[in-house]
Amino acid sequence: MNDTRLQLMEAIARRRMVTAHYNGNVMQLAPHQMFERRGDLFVSALNLSKNWRSPDDWKLGHYKLDGLAVTELQDAEFEPLPSFEAAAPHEDDTLLLAV
């Protein structure tokens, strides 16, 4: 297992924030679940670096692990979104881990 995968698994299990580089952007993520899609690993996470109009607009984005770099587990904890239900995004996806 690579460091990114291990760090994200720990972040999900311990409900910890993660900073990561994705497509040239540095993001503060609250990872809620990890899933597999066609052999690739993804994480569903709330991107707290995004300019949201209000917390009511918050939703999870899906990020391919291969695209995440320089991930760092933070001490800051997060509470899962109240609307979050652990489930694979698509019926062909396989849920691996969730908060």
Residue 70, sorted as left (phi over 0), alpha (psi -120 to 50) or beta, turns out to be: left
> In percent, how much of the chain has pLDDT > 70?
98
Under 8 Å CB-to-CB from 74, ≥6 apart: which residues? 16, 17, 18, 19, 28
pLDDT tier, 52 (very low <50, low <70, confident <90, very high otherwise): confident
Report whether pLDDT(1) > 70: no
The secondary element (H helix, E strand) that includes residue 6 is helix 3-14
Residues 3-28 have pLDDT tens digits of: 889 999 999 999 999 999 988 889 99
The secondary element (H helix, E strand) that includes residue 13 is helix 3-14
Q: Model's pTM, two decimal places? A: 0.90
| Residue range 43-64: mean pLDDT, rounded | 88
pLDDT for the residue numbered 44:
97
The number of angstroms, rounded, from the C-alpha of 89 to the middle of its chain's C-alpha atoms is 13
Q: How far apart are CA 32 and CA 47, in angstroms?
A: 11
